[in-house]
Amino acid sequence: MTWSGVDDVPERLVRVRAPGKVNLSLRVGPVQDDGYHPLITVFQAVSVHEEVVARPADEIVVTASGPQAELVPTDSSNLAVRAARLVAERAGVDDGVHLELVKGVPVAGGMAGGSADAAAALVACDALWGTGLSRDDLHELAAALGSDVPFALLGHTAVGQGRGHLLTPALARGEFHWAFAVQDRGLSTAAVYAAYDDLHGDTAPHPTERDDVPLMQALLAGDAVALGKALHNDLQTAALELDPALAEPLAVAQDAGALGVVVSGSGPTVAALARSRQHATALAAAFTAAGVADRVLTATGPVAGARVVQHGD
């Protein structure tokens, strides 16, 4: 069933929640002829969420609320708008939708907030319009939107290859606790990759799955200490080149006893792995006391991917 407007039906809404991510490992090869870098990355979805509320409308529009909402584009460049259009095209739907993005993941922070919006919008539009797309259909559309969008659909822990969009679920036992130092200033992913290329040129090694054997063993064992030692990000040096002040939260986390600390993705968010929920709170307090973050967050992982949490009036 589809709905063509709001005049002749009661207002309905679909609320979808999708997680941000941390890259436990990010290994980057030299840029290819197509402009992309071959990646092997290990994603973990964490309990810092985006919510997308979808309501019937005459056209596809997006609004944003929450922290840093003023930084979110609301035109056709928004990934959630593009997601809605892809669902409409695939399903042959002419309806509009109002997508309200409720921000929880830092904007341009290396935690894939925009990708989480896109994944949530795919699920929300499918549910609102009753298009009945399969999970495979949604993953295909997600891959067309961006490298991190398929993982925001899948959630939990996974190995990403190719541009990061070819996913294999990873076995992870137990729960891991994180503290994040968030900066209001963003870092452009494209700029960080360009800086990486400037640093390495064609000399960057081609990543292999063997590089992350200790990390995968730590996840399988639920061993947070071993995981902390195995955290890795090839883009971290490039992010520090562009934003040298990121060295400060990295040092604060280490001094406060983090099991491991790493720039998340392309930055500038710094992720610190804690021994426990209480230790994550202490790490967040250390970030705040040192004045090295505009905001701090604590979270656990892994968590589920995009899912409907409300469907009705």
Task: Give the active site residues.
Answer: 21, 148
Cis peptide leading into residue 302 (ω within 30°): yes
CB 202 within 8 A of CB 70: no
Answer yes or no: is 276 a known binding residue: no
Answer yes or no: is 64 a known binding residue: no
Answer yes or no: is 113 a known binding residue: yes
Burial of residue 30 (CB within 10 Å: 0-12, 13-18, 19+) is: middle
Pairing outcome for strands 39-57 and 96-102: antiparallel
Answer yes or no: is 106 a known binding residue: yes
Answer yes or no: is 114 a known binding residue: yes
In 268-285, which positions are buried (b, 16+ CB within 10 angstroms) versus exposed (e)? bbbbbbbbeeebbebbbe
Residues 6+ apart with CB under 8 A from 163: 36, 37, 39, 147
CB 133 within 8 A of CB 306: no
CB 149 within 8 A of CB 113: no
Tell me how far CA of residue 249 lies from CA of 39, 229, 241, 283, 310, in angstroms: 26, 18, 15, 10, 37
Residues 6+ apart with CB under 8 A from 179: 253, 258, 271, 272, 274, 280, 281, 283, 284, 287, 296, 297, 298
Answer yes or no: is 158 a known binding residue: no
Answer yes or no: is 115 a known binding residue: yes
Which segments are annotated as binding site for ATP? Answer: 106-116
Which segments are annotated as binding site? Answer: 106-116
